[in-house]
A and B are shown apart, each in its own frame.
Chain A
Amino acid sequence: METFLVIIVIAIALGFDYVNGFHDAANSIATVVSTRVLTPRTAVVWAAFFNFAAFLVFGDKVATTIANDVVVQSVLSIGVIFAGLVGAILWDLITFWFGLPTSSSHALVGGIAGAAVAKAGFDVLISEGLRKIGIFIVLSPLIGLAMGLILTLGIFWVFHRNRNLQRLNRGFRTGQLASAAAFSLGHGANDAQKTMGIILALLIASGHAASNASTPLWVVLSAHTAIALGTLTGGWRIVKTMGSKITRLQPVGGVAAESGAAITLFATSAAGIPVSTTHTITGAIVGVGAARRLSAVRWGVAGRVVWAWILTIPGAFAISWLTFLVVDLLA
């Protein structure tokens, strides 16, 4: 029976990963599609391939952070992880319904913390790990913004003799293939690892893995496959809005934004820090707009990111807390 429950919760975790790919693919391919470098269908195949290939490049440090640094391992159980996932998924659906930009990553952390607290109180929270995640919730969009802006200025400085912007943009159309690939690699690395972390925690909690075990290969492959399939099947449906939602991007700006966000994701993934890929690329796009002038940025979208910072973890925390109480009552 317990093995059956473990399989069910793993399936829910992979479903969460699939939806993440489905929803976030637009971030990495919007500019390639809006500038017609690739057709939507080719672009999602491109992004999905690099989402999957991320497992070859990055280790499992983010997964280890999710599994070991959010709550103490002894409190983790199938019920806690199930309630944590349900809280994160419901929060994502509620915010999707109300059109609020949310972060699946923050929802996952809030969800696991809420379910664990419902089981054993606030003492089970690991303040050091949560503080690290909390600090980078604020820092990652700011780093993305600075990187997007600096890269834009750098590109214009290097090519300042080329006064024909149209010709410069034509040259950068192919550059977008590389920057979109880099961002998809970073997205696959950071986001798939969060699911890997949840499955690893579940395997440890149910006695299917030792407490100091590294992530099994089948977990790595299934998490990257789920996010890649999500990208492949859903990304193109919502791709249209992202390229012009925050600021109107040209190929030069697209390369700067995607490269800036990719550098931020590479660095945080290598350091084992889970961050929101959506907030990172949003920051980088704002940075590209700010390189021209502040009025080129639609600040309403940036303001909604700040609201997402404030609301997501407490919201997912509360739902998971309640879900665990219900699960505990029924068990």
Chain B
Amino acid sequence: MDRRAAFFLGAAVVCFLLVPVSDGYAWVSITVGAVYVVLALGSWLDARGHRRV
């Protein structure tokens, strides 16, 4: 797996783990986590595209 995508996925997991303790700021943890999921997906697609080329 693309190392960068794995790193972003790890960051997303950290953000989602913070949600239960985030109280009024849970939306921040969820939003940042979702951004990292998108970045992981984009990075994986980018790496896959480069491998094909």
Contact = CB atoms under 8 A, between A and B. Distances in A.
A132 B23 CA distance: 8
Interface in A116-154: 128, 131-132, 135-136, 138-139, 142-143, 145-146, 149-150
Interface in B32-52: 32, 35-36, 39
Interface residues of B, number: 18
A294 interface: yes
A142 B13 CA distance: 12
Contact of B4 (A132, A135, A293): A293
A271 B33 CA distance: 20
A149 B39 contact: yes
Nearest to A134: B21
A135 B11 contact: no
Nearest to B31: A143
Nearest to A145: B11
Given A142-B11, A149-B39, A128 B23 contact: yes
A138 B3 CA distance: 21
Contact of A139 (B3, B24, B32): B32
A290 interface: yes
Nearest to B43: A290
Interface residues of A, number: 16
Given A139-B32, A142-B32, A146-B36, A290 B7 contact: yes
Nearest to B11: A142
A135 B29 contact: yes
Contact of A143 (B4, B7, B14, B32): B32
Nearest to A136: B25
A135 B25 contact: yes
B7 to A, nearest CB: 6
Given A142-B15, A290-B7, A293-B4, A135 B35 contact: no
B36 to A, nearest CB: 7
Nearest to B22: A135
A139 B25 CA distance: 11
Contacts of B25: 132, 135-136
A146 B39 contact: yes
Given A142-B11, A146-B36, A149-B39, A135 B21 contact: yes
A135 B23 CA distance: 10
A49 to B, nearest CB: 31
A294 B47 CA distance: 12
B4 A290 contact: yes
A146 B35 contact: yes
B7 A294 contact: yes
Contacts of B39: 146, 149-150
A293 B35 CA distance: 18
A136 B28 CA distance: 10
A143 B30 CA distance: 12
A72 B53 CA distance: 61
A282 to B, nearest CB: 14
Given A132-B25, A135-B18, A139-B18, A146 B32 contact: yes
Given A135-B22, A146-B39, A149-B39, A294 B11 contact: no
Contacts of B29: 135, 139
Give 7 nearest A-B pairs by CB, closest first: A294-B4, A146-B35, A294-B3, A135-B22, A135-B18, A142-B11, A143-B32
23 contacts: A131-B21, A131-B23, A132-B23, A132-B24, A132-B25, A135-B18, A135-B21, A135-B25, A135-B29, A138-B14, A138-B18, A139-B15, A139-B28, A139-B32, A142-B32, A146-B35, A149-B39, A150-B35, A150-B39, A290-B7, A293-B4, A294-B4, A294-B7
